[in-house]
Amino acid sequence: MLKRKECHGDMADIHVYTAKKLEGMADSLENLARTFDGDGQMGRNLSREDGLAALQMASAMVCGDCAKCNLYSDSQREDSYYLYYLLRAFEQNGSVGQEDMPRLFQETCRKQADYVGQLNRNLGRATMNLSWKNRFLESRDVVISQFRELAAVLDEFARQLLCATDQTPVWEKMVRRAFARRHMAVEQMLILEYDNKRKEAFLTVRTTNGRCMLSKDAAQILNQVFGTSSWMAARDSRNIIARNWATVRFVEDGSYSAVYGAARAPKTGEMVSGDNYTFCQCGPGQVVMSLSDGMGTGMQAERESRQVVELAEQLIGAGYSPRSALKLINTVLLLAGEEQHPATLDLCCIDLYSGVLEAMKLGAAATFLIGDDGVERLEAGNVPAGIVEQAEPVLLSKKLWEDSRVIMVSDGVLDALPGEDKEETMKEYLENLERKNPQDMAEEILRLVMETGGAGRDDMTVLVAGIWRK
């Protein structure tokens, strides 16, 4: 018995030690990001220094001892307007012609073609260097952003651990007895309760009768001890408990359950839809539905929107907050340049413990909520991901209740509706729509839109989620 108490103490100490370590790592990442923050600024145009360097190199390569036009020395003056004109002419036309040179140069220079050719080569190299410098700074900013977001994830996780209370002494004896009755031994145990009253249990267990037990069946033992029906084995935990010691993580499931439905149709003449969506459970008690509308239609739009929703799912599953995930996706799309077209991203996260919906949008269409008080629409800006460098996702938060519905649509759905205010048209229709299971509702909404006569002009996708208390 003494050994067991010592083991429990070790596990409790480890979780505090882990929290402190995570805090230190978060501080280090934030300090590292701060070190590089603001070091170097991106420029869209060639600078005065670039122009002077190009003139100086051309003079050295072509002019030799000739000083008839004094083009380089005259451009060094702070009030020299010609240097500014020269740079803008190169940027607009892609090269400088002899007609762009000063009159004195045209009248006195005997090597005009050689000089102008060398000047264009120098300015071309300066433009290429500027482009590479900007791309490097953009890549560096992405790394800095990743450092900051990862620091925020670690800091949040550390805060949760430090705020968690150790409930092991309260439940230890009852848990051990309940597992012993099912021929299972518990070596170590740690039961934590977080500030939102959600519990999490880590049990190092094995079977004592030589048989195996599924982890989901072991979770039912915890339900009997705690008098609830909400315990489940974590998705990233082991599925089978055997004769050898193994640590299994159990979590409390949410008070709500969510069911989803989807319906979509591609643009007329296209084999695939350029819209993509996903439903996933990214953590205990958190479900995410996302919808991305790729620019244009067809395979290219489908591939790009699929990459966006998959990246969003992976980042949120790794612990990034939805807002951080959207900002990082926007930055990645910016770096893709001409190889990537912009795509909208609509993200809805439902907390199954509290029933709170958080909707985040980057250029996405309105989301509609059906509740006891009627239909409400959530709207955001119209800038898609990958267009504006500092684009901020719009965060909208609402409380969902029993039998609520969340309806997400792509632009093609709203564009097919009649009237000027298409969001209002959709809202009026939803107010008269019978509340059915989500799949039937999604199909009925899409059928209505296609019957209005605007179908086929763009890809159309309708997602519906329903929430119920367990």
Question: For residue 178, what pLDDT is reported?
Answer: 95
Q: Which amino acid, 32? A: L
Question: For residue 222, what pLDDT is reported?
Answer: 93
Q: Which amino acid, 229? A: S
Taking phi over 0 as left and psi of -120 to 50 as alpha, with beta for the rest, 366 belongs to beta
Of 345, 394, 403, nearest to 369 (Cα)?
403
Q: Which residues of 418-455 are buried (b: 16+ CB within 10 A; e: fewer)?
A: eeeebbeebbebbeebeeeebeebbbbbbebbeeeebb
Question: For residue 43, what pLDDT is reported?
Answer: 61
CA distance 376 to 368: 6
CA distances from 345 to 210, 323, 373, 407, 410 (A): 51, 12, 27, 15, 10
CA distance 290 to 314: 12
Q: Which amino acid, 207? A: T
Q: Contact 244/275 with Cβ under 8 angstroms?
A: no
Q: Contact 368/407 with Cβ under 8 angstroms?
A: yes
Stated as kind and residue range, the H or E segment containing 359 is strand 356-362
Question: For residue 266, what pLDDT is reported?
Answer: 87
Of 208, 259, 250, 243, nearest to 226 (Cα)?
250
Return all residues near 436 (Cβ < 8 A) that are at least 6 apart: 444
**Which parts of the chain register pLDDT below 50?**
1-7, 338, 382-389
SS3 234: coil
Return all residues near 169 (Cβ < 8 A) that are at least 6 apart: 8
As given in the structure block, the two tokens for residue 245 are 């010691």
Of 381, 382, 380, 430, nearest to 406 (Cα)?
430
Of 28, 29, 44, 52, nearest to 137 (Cα)?
44
What are 424-456's pLDDT values in tens digits? 999 999 998 988 899 999 999 999 888 876 667
Name the residue with tokens 């439903």: 279
Question: For residue 221, what pLDDT is reported?
Answer: 93
Of 447, 412, 448, nearest to 428 (Cα)?
448
SS3 255: coil
Of 219, 184, 181, 217, nearest to 200 (Cα)?
219
DSSP state of 63: I
Question: For residue 37, what pLDDT is reported?
Answer: 67
Taking phi over 0 as left and psi of -120 to 50 as alpha, with beta for the rest, 269 belongs to left
The CA-based diameter of the chain, rounded to the nearest angstrom, is: 105
As given in the structure block, the two tokens for residue 336 are 């893709």
CA distance 274 to 459: 6
Question: For residue 183, what pLDDT is reported?
Answer: 94
In the chain the first and final C-alpha atoms are separated, in Å, by 38
Return all residues near 250 (Cβ < 8 A) that are at least 6 apart: 200, 201, 202, 203, 215, 218, 219, 222, 231, 232, 233, 234, 237
Stated as kind and residue range, the H or E segment containing 256 is strand 256-265
CA distance 66 to 74: 14
CA distance 281 to 235: 9
Q: Contact 403/257 with Cβ under 8 angstroms?
A: no
